[in-house]
Chains A and B, each alone.
Chain A
Amino acid sequence: MNSQRRTWIKRGLAALGAAAFATALALPQQTMAADLQKVRVSIIPINDVTPLFAAMKQGYFAEEGLEIDTTPSAGGATGIPGLIAGSFDIVYGNVVSMLLAAQQGIDIRVAAPGTKIDTPEFDMSAMVVRADSGIKTGRDLEGKSVGVNTRNNVIWLYARAWIKATGGDPDRVTYREVPHPQMEDALRQKQVDAGYMVIPYVAIATQKPEFQAIAHPYSKVQLGVDVGQYLTTAKFLSDKPETVTKFVRALRRGIEWYNANRGTDDLLKIVSGFTRLDVEVLRKVKMSPAPLKVDPPQIETTMKLMIEHRLLRGPIDVKPLIAAQAL
């Protein structure tokens, strides 16, 4: 009995050691691309990155000798940290995150254009309230609460700016963090009095008579706002400038294809593929045209807004942050 027990213990310990060793071996496995150069891109699974997927599908990146490896980040929170850690070469991010990173001394660079709101018609994201609430302006929201996906970020900033622009004091409004998909429930259950909703959720909610879009803060506060960009590090830009050039060139072809095919079934299928949203839901969404260039003056306007709302301590020189390829 005793020797049998000892054998089991020895076997157990051996198995434990072997498993630990196997795990250690399995951890970092670098895969080598055969002939295409691999570029690791972190994305947010929203319509904004459709041109990237269109360019992949049309083979524009392969023609440049690039293979794009996308990693979705549902909340978008891990993009910039992953960029700094070296998990990604390029990340899709919003202008506020980019400027916050720059303020923290991170050598971040804008590599390519992403999303821009040039016409009020295509600004679907909206401040939504219950139809019977009587709330019309930022002034009406004083002492009430507004749902935003993340505090101290782009949605929060433009919610505050809109409240101020319509006669309210943004400091007298409570901001509650509610994930985008739950905003409608939060509004209905009166956990918030207004919610800053984005596509596709805003399209679904505002079709119901119980909800009403009262304003479109992006276009109301800053028409032309350059909301999102593809970001990289100064190091990647200086080490592999030709990779960035190829990436932007292929992406621009993807943007042109996207702009020419907005609303078509081919395009909806691409969006449905990486967002997992049903095509019927996507039909309700107006897809805004994507920009071919980054717009530095708009980024400067956003920067000033961030200083006004105490997100930035002082001005940042925006021009050096933008790679020549993005212009």
Chain B
Amino acid sequence: MSNAANDSLTGNALRPHAATAWGRLAARMQATPRLSGFVLVAALLCLWEASARLGWVNSQNWPPVSLVLVAVAQGIASGELASLLLSTLRRMASGYVLGCGIGVALGLLLGTNRWLRYVLKPIIEVIRPIPAPAIVPPLILFLGVDDALKIFVVSLACFFPAFLNTLAGVETIDDVLLQTARTFRVGARRTLFQVVFPATLPMIAAGLRVATGIALVVTVISEMIAGSSGIGYYIIQMQYAMKPEAMYAAVLLLAVTGYLVNRVFLVVEQRFIPWLGK
């Protein structure tokens, strides 16, 4: 049905009498739905440019997007933005791997061991609602203001989606799989690694993907609150140095990074978990 509609629209666009510029654009957007997303982004950026150039927003903290793009180019050319971004990504990756590793491991353990679940689940559920940025200031007392603090906060934030998804995956595993393993007298450890883990992987992957987004946000926030490194600190520094173009350049770079990290994750996911069924 939708295919037919698409076909007829593309057909329309090819006809000379419908060949106005807007008509063509609309038709192409129908034909390639992904394009419409980019058109919306471009339209919003144009609105940004206009709002700053035409004085709709009267503030010295609201530069036109064209100047922000210039700042992006300058930041990349000087190498400053790239090195800041790399240091942020390094912290993010460390915290992510730690948090997700522990989250998945505990999720598998608690999912397969009722006793552990009774002991550990309550404390995990109590810690879970605490927003990661809220615990940064008290944590400074124990971990200082450098990487240890940020990596800990990021790993804590990543732990929960990884853990909860893994646990849910184990709990909803198809009973036939477990019964089959039991029928063939497969040992507990082999069952865990060769039955439970692969069957839970799609759920784990979903948890890990949620964690990637959280990891980037929490890394940047922790850099904003404590210490003086990474792109989070740079954003604050530029805000205080009255250089909003440089500040928004870093923000734009973060948006692009977040988008790319997600795309990379999807590619990796399809490569390593082909039975995800997409």
Residues of A within 8 A of B (CB): 5-6, 8-9, 12, 16-17, 19-20, 23-24, 26-28, 45, 71-75, 77-78, 81-82, 84-87, 179-182, 184-185, 188, 200-201, 204, 275-278, 281
Contact = CB atoms under 8 A, between A and B. Distances in A.
B89 to A, nearest CB: 13
Contacts of B275: 5
Contact of A180 (B59, B93, B94, B240): B240
A97 B142 CA distance: 20
Contacts of A188: 58-59
B47 interface: no
Contacts of A82: 140, 144-145, 226
Contacts of A6: 194
Nearest to A70: B228
Contacts of B147: 26-27
A9 B241 contact: no
Given A204-B242, A276-B243, A8 B194 contact: no
Given A85-B143, A179-B239, A182-B61, A23 B272 contact: no
Interface in B128-145: 137, 140-145
Contact of A78 (B101, B140, B194): B140
Given A23-B98, A85-B140, A181-B242, A78 B61 contact: no
Nearest to A11: B272
Interface stretch (B25-33, B65-73, B211-219, B230-238): B230-238
A74 B229 CA distance: 11
Contacts of B109: none
A99 to B, nearest CB: 19
B48 interface: no
B225 interface: yes
Contacts of B242: 181, 200-201, 204, 277-278, 281
B144 A74 contact: no
Contacts of B104: 16
Contact of A87 (B146, B194, B241): B146
A19 B239 contact: no
A16 B148 contact: no
B258 interface: no
A45 B237 contact: yes
Contacts of B233: 72, 74
A82 B272 CA distance: 43
Contacts of B198: 5, 9
A33 B121 CA distance: 46
Contacts of B193: 9
B75 interface: no
Contacts of B194: 6
B265 interface: no
Contacts of B100: 16
Interface residues of B, number: 42
B175 to A, nearest CB: 21
Contact of A184 (B60, B227, B241): B60
18 contacts: A8-B272, A9-B198, A17-B101, A20-B101, A27-B151, A45-B237, A71-B145, A74-B236, A78-B140, A82-B144, A84-B141, A85-B140, A85-B142, A85-B143, A87-B146, A188-B58, A276-B238, A277-B242
A81 B238 contact: no
Given A20-B98, A23-B98, A9 B144 contact: no
A277 B238 CA distance: 9
Contacts of A24: 98
B239 to A, nearest CB: 5
Contacts of A185: 59-61
B97 interface: yes
Nearest to B140: A81
7 A-B pairs closest in CB distance: A87-B144, A276-B241, A81-B140, A74-B236, A23-B94, A19-B97, A72-B228
A27 B194 CA distance: 33
Given A9-B193, A277-B242, A73 B228 contact: yes
Interface in B201-221: 201
Contacts of A73: 145, 226-228
Given A6-B194, A275-B241, A78 B94 contact: no
B60 A16 contact: no
A23 B97 contact: yes
Contact of B237 (A16, A74, A204): A74
A19 to B, nearest CB: 4
B233 to A, nearest CB: 7
A73 B224 CA distance: 9
Given A81-B141, A277-B241, A23 B146 contact: no
B137 A81 contact: yes
B142 to A, nearest CB: 7
Contacts of A17: 101
